[in-house]
Structure formats: C-alpha cells, structure tokens
C-alpha cells in the first residue's frame, strides 16, 4: 500500500489480518515481493482529480499508475487520490468528510454509497501550509506587523537570511525564477513557525483563523450531501492536525443554520487507510483486531 502525498511518500506491506510486515519512507517508493505474498496494491496519490474540480487537472488512475511500474507485482491495483486513503483510514470506511492540509490540501466527502465529492467541484480551495506562510509574509511586507509579532518577524527574516523587511523583499524578488516546488517548500517550512507562535502573535493568529474559515466553508459546502447529522469530520496532514489550526477550525465550523458537523480524531493514518481500503476491496475480514493491527502501523 502507498501513501504518496506531497511531503514524504510511504510504502507499507500488510498481511491479510492487518499486520504491517514492512514500511519504508522516502522520496520515491518501490516494493518487490514473491508471488505468494502479493495480494493487492492500493496507492493514494496526490494529483488524481475529478471532473469539474479545480484540483488535479483531470489526472486519473492511469496517470498515477505510470509512476509505479511494478511489472512483477501480480495483483489487483487501485490508484486513488491521497485524500481518499486518508478518508477511509480516518473514518474506517464510513460516510463523512476529511480535511487534508499539509503540503497540499483537499476537503473530501464520501457518502454511504461510496460516492466522492470534493470542495473543488464547487470551485473551492482552502489552502495548505504554504498559504498560511504566504499570508503572514504578505502582512509583514505590507507593514501590518505589531510589536507582539516581533518574534514571528525575526524568525521569518532569519528563514530568508534577511536583516530587515526591505532585505526580505529583495530576497524574495531574487527568487522570482525559483521553481514552483521550491517556492512551496520554502514557504511551507515557515508554517510550523506560524502555528508555534499562534497564541502570542496576532498576525499568526489572524492567518490561521482566515485559513480555518476558508477550510470550514469547504466542509460546510459538502456536509448537506451526507444526509446525516452531525456529519463526522476528520483531519489529516501536518497542518490540519496541528492544534493551532484544528482548534480554530472547530470554532469556524460552528455556524448557526449550517448542517451540524463534529470533528473526530482519525482512527487510522493515511498509510494504514490504504491498507484498510486494499483489504476491504479484497474482501478480507476487517474486524476490530485487524483495525487494531493496522492502527499500530501508524
């Protein structure tokens, strides 16, 4: 099973009773097993999209499969968006919504019949870790930092090796030719500073609240489609799971007149979610003990 999100892809090999035999993390994943051990491959890959969405630019499972040329692996293969394995693991295959926010982001609903709808199909996009950093850096450059934001400003300047705000502006302009992926990483690495200082820096607090409100909009767009109340909402990704963000998201979701939702802790992480989905599609038993074993794999 593969959890190939935008940060650190992980590959795991599970037995049919949910036991994790091996796990690897790296920039790219490949696994080779003997014929008797090969049973099923489920990969959750960032970038797989849906018709009508503003994410994924129409890429499908065939596009994702081209990155996993495992010709010797003779087994059923399933390629889905990484949010799907996060959803299935977090909610153990039940209907609900998952909010993924890390290197990338997605708000995804899956109903009791397995139908998937993401907020991008309503032309909504919440944003991820780098967007919090974009926000705070823009506010610093615009002169909106307050004295209480001093440590945040100092650490932002230090991240780019700038002596002051004018030097930061010059440093960013000198990176105008950087690749989009380098930009994502450079700004994404600032996000943990923002969440760390969220309770002492007004600027950091505002940026996280803004993103939480936009994310909540995506959840509340999808919640009526689930036809249950309250709708369970789980979280995945480094930013989504950070208490500085998740507590603000919970507040933003409390909207009078909206479909009631309830934030619940994820039962399984994304990699174990891929294992759960693969075992279910193979018809393997998925009792409490199997789930416990999957959960122990992280």
Question: Residue 164 belongs to a domain with what CATH number?
Answer: 3.30.420.40
- Beta-bridged to residue 10, according to DSSP, are 3, 25
- Same domain as 52, residue 135: no
Distance CA(298)–CA(295), nearest Å, equals 6
Counting Cβ atoms within 10 Å, is residue 239 exposed (0-12), middle (13-18) or buried (19+)?
A: buried
- Same domain as 219, residue 122: yes
Tens-place pLDDT, residues 127-174: 999 999 999 999 999 999 999 999 999 999 999 999 999 999 999 999
- Same domain as 102, residue 48: no
Q: Are 287 and 279 in contact (CB under 8 A)?
A: no
- Same domain as 70, residue 99: no
Q: Are 291 and 269 in contact (CB under 8 A)?
A: no
Distance CA(106)–CA(218), nearest Å, equals 9
- Beta-bridged to residue 109, according to DSSP, are 97, 117
Total domain count, the chain:
2
Task: Starting at the earlier edge strand, list the strands of the sheet with 96-101.
Answer: 116-118, 105-110, 96-101, 231-236, 261-263
- Same domain as 72, residue 14: yes
Sign of the CA dihedral with 238 first, then 241, 243, and 247 last = positive
What pLDDT is attached to residue 57?
59
N-term to C-term CA, the chain: 13
Check whether 27 has a pLDDT greater than 80: no
Counting Cβ atoms within 10 Å, is residue 66 exposed (0-12), middle (13-18) or buried (19+)?
A: exposed
- 197: left (phi > 0), else alpha (psi -120 to 50), else beta? alpha
Counting Cβ atoms within 10 Å, is residue 284 exposed (0-12), middle (13-18) or buried (19+)?
A: middle
C-alpha radius of gyration, the chain, whole number? 20
Q: Average pLDDT over the chain, rounded to whole?
A: 86
What pLDDT is attached to residue 31?
32
Confidence band (pLDDT; 50, 70, 90) for 205? very high
Q: Are 215 and 97 in contact (CB under 8 A)?
A: no
- Same domain as 202, residue 56: no
- Same domain as 246, residue 226: yes
Question: Helix, strand, coil: what percent of the chain each, to 5?
Answer: 45, 15, 40
What pLDDT is attached to residue 32?
28
**Residues in CB range of 81: below 8 A, 6 or more apart:** 44, 45, 46, 47, 48, 49, 56, 106, 108
What pLDDT is attached to residue 36?
38
Q: Give the pairing type, strands 231-236 and 96-101.
A: parallel
Q: What percent of the chain has pLDDT over 70?
A: 89
Range 94-106 average pLDDT: 92
Tens-place pLDDT, residues 59-97: 766 777 777 777 767 777 777 788 888 898 899 989 999
More confident residue, 10 or 34: 10
- Same domain as 120, residue 214: yes
- Same domain as 153, residue 58: no
- Same domain as 111, residue 29: no
**Residues in CB range of 22: below 8 A, 6 or more apart:** 12, 13
83 closest CA partner among 58, 119, 113: 119
More confident residue, 261 or 73: 261
Which residue range(s) make up the domain with 172? 94-266
Tens-place pLDDT, residues 108-131: 999 999 999 999 999 999 999 999
Please state the separation of Cα 58 from the chain's center in Å.
19
- Same domain as 238, residue 119: yes
- Same domain as 123, residue 5: no
Q: Are 98 and 234 in contact (CB under 8 A)?
A: yes
What pLDDT is attached to residue 95?
95
Tens-place pLDDT, residues 173-193: 998 888 888 888 899 999 999
Check whether 17 has a pLDDT greater than 70: yes
């Amino acid at each position: 099973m593969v959890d190939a999100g935008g940060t650190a892809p992980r590959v795991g090999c599970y037995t049919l009773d949910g036991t994790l035999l091996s796990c690897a993390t790296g920039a790219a994943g490949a696994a080779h097993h003997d014929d008797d051990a090969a049973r099923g491959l489920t990969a959750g890959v960032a970038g797989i999209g849906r018709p009508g969405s503003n994410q994924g630019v129409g890429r499908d499972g065939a596009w994702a499969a081209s990155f996993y040329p495992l010709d010797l692996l003779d087994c059923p293969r399933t390629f889905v968006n990484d949010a799907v394995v996060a959803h299935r693991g977090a909610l153990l295959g039940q209907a609900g919504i998952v909010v993924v926010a890390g290197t990338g982001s997605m708000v995804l609903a899956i109903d009791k019949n397995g139908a998937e709808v993401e907020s991008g199909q309503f032309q909504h996009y919440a944003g991820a870790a780098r967007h919090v950093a974009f926000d705070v850096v823009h506010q610093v450059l615009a002169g909106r930092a307050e004295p209480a934001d001093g440590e945040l400003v100092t650490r932002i300047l230090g991240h780019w090796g700038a002596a002051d705000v004018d030097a930061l502006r010059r440093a960013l302009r000198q990176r105008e030719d950087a690749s989009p992926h380098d930009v994502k990483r450079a700004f994404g690495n600032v996000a943990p500073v923002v969440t760390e200082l969220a309770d002492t820096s007004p600027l950091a607090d505002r940026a996280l609240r803004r993103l939480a409100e936009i994310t909540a909009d995506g959840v509340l767009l999808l919640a009526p489609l689930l036809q249950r109340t309250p709708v369970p909402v789980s979280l995945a990704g480094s930013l989504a799971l950070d208490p500085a963000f998740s507590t603000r998201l919970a507040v933003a979701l409390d909207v009078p007149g909206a479909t009631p939702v309830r934030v619940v802790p994820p039962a399984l992480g994304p990699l174990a979610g891929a294992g759960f989905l693969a075992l279910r599609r193979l018809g393997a038993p998925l009792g409490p003990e199997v789930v416990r074993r999957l959960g122990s794999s992280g």
